[in-house]
Amino acid sequence: MTTHIFFLELKMMARERAAWLLLTLFVGALGYGYRNGDQLAERNREAAETALQGSEELQSNIRRHLSKEGSAIPVGGRGGIAMVGFLAQLPPAPMPVLATGQSDLVPTSENVILMRLATPVGKRSEIENPSHLLAGRFDLAFVLTWLFPLFLLAFLYDLMAGDRETGTLRLALSQGISPVGWLCRRALARALPVVTLALAATALAGADELGLRLGAALAVVVIYGLFWATLAVAINSVANSAAAAAASLGAAWVAIVLVAPALLNLAAESLYPTPSRPELVAASRQASGEAEKLGDQLIDSFYKEHPELAPPDKRADYWAMKLTEQEEVARKVAPVLDKFENQLMRQQQTVGQWRFVSPAIVTHEALTDIAGTGYWRHQSFRKQVKEFKQDISDFYTPKAHRREPLVLADIEQMPTFSFVEEQDSEWLNRVARGLAGILAISALVGGWALFSLRPRRLGATTG
């Protein structure tokens, strides 16, 4: 009987024209999402390659120049290293086709210039229409987070409610079938094609990354699907008609996918408002103006603290002066910048703590984390760029003060940026905790469904 119900449901579904139409639409949405993700990944990869090519060319030009007998490159002055941009590049994400995440919004490369280390510069990413950013991307993560539940619910909204409405539920249950078993098998059979297609598309997106990331992505799809299937079973166990079940599930989708994430974002922004960028810019300019006025006084105290860096004539040139001023600006602006970073971090931590209010948030966070386009990888990049800036300063500033040019012997010590990916255990831990949360919510919803399907309660609702 158990497998019989399952196969019967599959057979009945195969005869529904609407089911085929829905599946075709879902395949179309998955295919389109895959194509969009693939195109964006290709664009980002090309941009990264172009930037890297430029950087390698620069490095080899420096090397070639220094290899010439008696050649050196000054730090300051025309043609000096002080105004050269050293590339810090975030490598392409491991599974970019799966989710766009922040990759179309947050820049993945930065040119670090010695003389601009404390200048507030706007980050530049690829040219995107702001309206496009506002609308969001039709990528695989969008299809899996937003549309996958809708398609699933289209198949699952009438598991029992319609039978209750027409009176066939009494007839079916009089055959001695367990209502829970009957409902679960019907749900499983009806969800199977949609879940299979979602898994296939996910597997395709992760075809280059056959391993932990792909396994995690597949687990996300299965568990997210399980949550929506459980919710459909629970709503069906109490709804009086198919229309009421559809309306309730539709409302749940709106609440979980649209309203809860927007509310959480609003709450995080209101609790920990990000300090203003204009204020940061103005503060940095003020510090820069003050440092410029201090001028000689600043350089004198600097050489008192660092006598080893003082040039032979004890008179700082333009570049040494500017670098000292820059150091002073950085010191003054550091608290404002730290406050900025901390508030942003607190916002994201609030999102992390409260993400369980909506399984859609958990799913989207998990998919972007797995794809390598999420908040934490970009945050790690920003952190490493900050360290790289410090390395650049530590390496070139003493040379600028001592007026020592760059020579061939320095070439191996020159700081270069190499992004260190976070350990697998770190992202896996975040994803696993998220999935455990969805499973716990599903268990609660399942418990409610079991409670509603107890014979006494079911008897009351079947009439």
Partner 1 sequence: MTFSIARKEFQDTWRDGRFRWAAAIVLALLGVSFLLARQQVEHQRKEREEATKMERDNWLNQGRKNAHAAAHYGVYVFKPVAPLSVFDRGLQPFVGSTVYLEAHRQNQAAFLPAQDSTSMRRFGDLTAAACLQLLLPLLIILFAFGTLAGERESGTLRQALSLGVRPASLVFGKALGLAGALAALLVPVAAGGIYAFSGISGMDTTTDESWLRLALMACAYLLYLGAILAISLTVSALAPTSRSALSILLVFWAVNAVLAPRLASDLAQWSHPMPKLAELDAKLLEARKQALNSHNPNSPAMKEFIEKHRDASGKLPPNFRVLLMEESERQTNEVYEKHFGGIWDLLEAQDEVVTWGGLAAPLLGLRSASVALAGTDFTHHRHFSIAAEDHRREFIKMLNNSHGASGRELWERLPPFRYQPPSLSQAVSVAMPGLTILCLWLAGGCAALYFASRRLKPS
Cβ pair 285, 325 in contact under 8 A:
no
Residues 95-154 that bind partner 1 (CB under 8 A): 101-102, 105-107, 121-138, 142, 146-147, 150
Q: Which two tokens stand for residue 5?
A: 């119900």
Cβ pair 224, 144 in contact under 8 A:
yes
Is the Cβ of residue 137 or residue 185 nearer to partner 1 in the bound state? 137
Residues 342-401 that bind partner 1 (CB under 8 A): 344, 347-348, 351, 360-361, 364-365, 368, 374-375
Residue 112: strand pairing partners: 86
Residue 266 contacts partner 1 per CB under 8 A: yes
Q: Residue 54: which residues within 8 A CB-CB, separation 6 or more?
A: 87
Separation between Cα atoms, residue 456 and residue 463, nearest integer Å:
11
The angle subtended at Cα 432 by Cα 274 and Cα 41, nearest 5°, is 65
Is the Cβ of residue 273 or residue 447 nearer to partner 1 in the bound state? 273
Is the Cβ of residue 103 or residue 393 nearer to partner 1 in the bound state? 103
Which of 270, 297, 413, 423 contacts partner 1 by CB under 8 A?
270
Which DSSP string corresponds to 82-150? GGPEEEEEPPPPSSTTT--TTTTTS-SEEEEEGGGTTS------S---HHHHHH---SHHHIIIIIHHH
Stretch that binds partner 1, among 277-285, 309-317, 385-393, 403-411 (CB under 8 A): 277-285
Which of 98, 189, 191, 268 contacts partner 1 by CB under 8 A?
268
SS3 for 264-290, per residue? HHHHHHHHCCCCCHHHHHHHHHHHHHH
Q: 318-337 burial, b for 16+ CB within 10 Å, e for fewer?
A: ebbbbbbbbbbbbebbeeeb
Q: Which two tokens stand for residue 173?
A: 């249950």
Contacts with partner 1 by CB under 8 A: the residue count is 77
Is the Cβ of residue 184 or residue 299 nearer to partner 1 in the bound state? 299
Is the Cβ of residue 169 or residue 283 nearer to partner 1 in the bound state? 283
Which of 63, 64, 170, 277 contacts partner 1 by CB under 8 A?
277
Which of 176, 278, 307, 463 contacts partner 1 by CB under 8 A?
278
Stretch that binds partner 1, among 252-260, 304-312, 329-337, 414-422 (CB under 8 A): 252-260
Residues 188-247 that bind partner 1 (CB under 8 A): 242-243, 246-247
Q: How far is CA 96 from the centre of its chain?
A: 10
Residues 434-453 that bind partner 1 (CB under 8 A): none
Residue 23 contacts partner 1 per CB under 8 A: no
* Cα Rg, the chain, nearest whole Å: 30
- Least Cβ distance, residue 254 to partner 1 (angstroms): 6
Stretch that binds partner 1, among 176-184, 261-269, 308-316, 414-422 (CB under 8 A): 261-269
Residues 41-80 that bind partner 1 (CB under 8 A): 43, 46-47, 50-51
Residues 288-327 that bind partner 1 (CB under 8 A): 289, 292-293
Cβ pair 37, 136 in contact under 8 A:
no
Is the Cβ of residue 210 or residue 258 nearer to partner 1 in the bound state? 258
Is the Cβ of residue 284 or residue 446 nearer to partner 1 in the bound state? 284
- Least Cβ distance, residue 127 to partner 1 (angstroms): 5
Separation between Cα atoms, residue 236 and residue 248, nearest integer Å:
10
Amino acid letter, residue 451: F
